[in-house]
Structure 1
Amino acid sequence: MYYELATMTLPFGTAGQAATHVQTYTTAPEAGGELLGCWFTDIGQLNQMIVLRGFADLGALQTERARTQKSADPFGCGGIFQSLEQHSYQGFPWMKPVRPSAESGIRGPVYEIRTYGIKTGGVQATIDLWEQYVPPREALSPCVVAMVALDGPLRFTNIWSYPTLDARSKARADAVVQGIWPPKGGPAHLTTNMVSTIALPTAVSPLK
C-alpha cells in the first residue's frame, strides 16, 4: 500500500473551512486514492493540517500527485494555505492497509504522528524489527501505519491512536516496563532526527 502525507500550514481560524475543501477535493470524481485521515495539529508545530491518503499502487499515487501539482487550487485550499508539502510513502509490507475508523475500529481522537530518520542500510532492519515488536505493542495501543518515505531524506513515519493524552503516556510507559518497546536494537538504525506531532481529527476525517 502507498500513501501520501500532505501538510498545509494555515492562517489562524481557517481549519474548518480548509477541511471542507479537502474533503471535496479528495472525493471528486477525478480524484485518485482514498482520503483516510485529516487532522489538525494540537501539540508540535501548530496551525497545520495533515492529510493522509491511500493508494493501491505507486502509479495511482503519482497520477494524483501530478493532478495536485498542476492544480490552480490544490486541495481546494490554494487561496487559504500559506505552504503545502506532499510526501510519498510505502507502507511496511507486512502491515494491513489503513482503513477508516468505521471499518477498522481504530479511533483516537488523539493521534501521534512520529517521523524518524533512518541510517544508511537501516531500512530493512527497521521493517523486520517492527514486524516482530509491533504485535505485542499493539496490545497497548494500535499502530495506524508505519511507512517508509519514497522521497526526501531517508526516514519513516508511524502513526498511533489513543483515546487521551494520559492513555498515550501510560501505554508508552507500560511498553517500556514490559520490555516490548522500543524494539530491541531498533534505535541503532535511526538518526537523532526525530519529530513527534499530536493531532486531532477534523470533522471530515475518516479516521476519527
Structure 2
Amino acid sequence: MYYELATMTLPFGTAGQAATNVQAYASGPDAKGELLGCWFTDIGQLNQMIVLRGFDDLAALQAERERTQQSADPFGCGAIFQSLEQHSYQGFGWMKPVRPSAESGITGPVYEIRTYGIRPGGVQATIDLWEGAVPAREKISPCVVAMVALDGPLRFTNIWAYPTLDARSKARADAVAQGIWPPKGGPAHLTTNMVSTIALPTAVSPLK
C-alpha cells in the first residue's frame, strides 16, 4: 500500500473551510486514491492540516501527485494555505492497509504522528524489527500505519491512535516497563532526527 502525507500551513480561522475543501478535492471525479485522515495539529508545529491519502499502487499515487502539482487550486485550498508539502510513502509490507475508523475500529481522537530518520542500510532492519515488536505493542494501543518515505531524507513515519493524552503517556510508559518497546535493536538504525506531532481529526476525517 502506498500513501501520501500532505501538510498545509493555514492562517488562523481557516481550518474548517480547508477541511471541507480537502474532502471535495480528494473525492472529485478526477481524484485517485482515498482520503484516510485529515487532522489539525494540536501539539508540535501549529496551524497545520495533515492529510493522509492511500493508494493501491505507485502509479496511482504518482498520477495524483501530478494532478495536484498541475492544479491552480491544490486540495481546493490554493487561496487559503500559506505553504504545502507532499511526501510519498510505502507502507511496511506486513502491515494491514489503513482503513477508516468505521471499518477498522481504530479511533483517537488523539493521533500521534512520529517521523524518525533512518541510518543508511537501516530500512529493512527497521521494517523487520517492527514486524516482530508491533503485535505486542498493539495490545496496549493501535498503530495506524508505519511507512517508509519514497522521497526526501531517508526516514519513516508512524501514526498511533489514543483516546486521550493521558492514555498516550500511560501506554508508552507501560510498553517500556514491559520491555516490549522500542523494538530491541531498533534505535541503532535510527538517527537523532526525530519529530512528534499530536493532531486531532477534523470533521471530514475518516479516521476519527
**Corresponding residue number in structure 1 for 2:52:** 52
Partners in 2 of 1:104 and 1:176 — Cα distance?
Answer: 26
**Corresponding residue number in structure 1 for 2:147:** 147
Is the aligned partner of 1:4 residue 2:4? yes
Partners in 2 of 1:78 and 1:32 — Cα distance?
Answer: 19
The aligned amino acid for 1:143 is C
Q: Flag structure 2 segments of 5+ consecutive residues without an equivalent.
A: none
Give secondary structure in 2 for the equivalent of 1:205: coil
Q: Report the CA distance between 1:29 and its aligned residue.
A: 1.1
**Corresponding residue number in structure 2 for 1:200:** 200
Q: Report the CA distance between 1:179 and its aligned residue.
A: 0.2
Is the aligned partner of 1:135 residue 2:135? yes
Per-residue CA deviations over 1:147-198 (Å, capped at 9, x if unaligned) read: 0000000000000000000000000000000000000100000000000000
Q: Report the CA distance between 1:4 and its aligned residue.
A: 0.1
**Corresponding residue number in structure 2 for 1:165:** 165
**Corresponding residue number in structure 1 for 2:99:** 99
The aligned amino acid for 2:94 is W
Map residues 101-120 of structure 1 onto 2, 5 A cutoff. Answer: 101-120=101-120
Partners in 2 of 1:195 and 1:43 — Cα distance?
Answer: 11
Partners in 2 of 1:107 and 1:17 — Cα distance?
Answer: 23
Q: Report the CA distance between 1:8 and its aligned residue.
A: 0.1
Is the aligned partner of 1:125 residue 2:120? no
Give secondary structure in 1 for the equivalent of 2:197: strand
Per-residue CA deviations over 1:99-131 (Å, capped at 9, x if unaligned) read: 000000000000000000000000000000000
Q: CA RMSD in A?
A: 0.2
Question: Percent identity at matched positions?
Answer: 88
**Corresponding residue number in structure 1 for 2:81:** 81
Give secondary structure in 1 for the equivalent of 2:199: strand
**Corresponding residue number in structure 1 for 2:181:** 181
Q: TM-score w.r.t. structure 1 length?
A: 1.00
Q: How many residues are paired up?
A: 208
Partners in 1 of 2:138 and 2:183 — Cα distance?
Answer: 13
**Corresponding residue number in structure 2 for 1:90:** 90
Partners in 2 of 1:40 and 1:13 — Cα distance?
Answer: 12
The aligned amino acid for 1:64 is E
**Corresponding residue number in structure 2 for 1:13:** 13
Partners in 1 of 2:170 and 2:180 — Cα distance?
Answer: 14
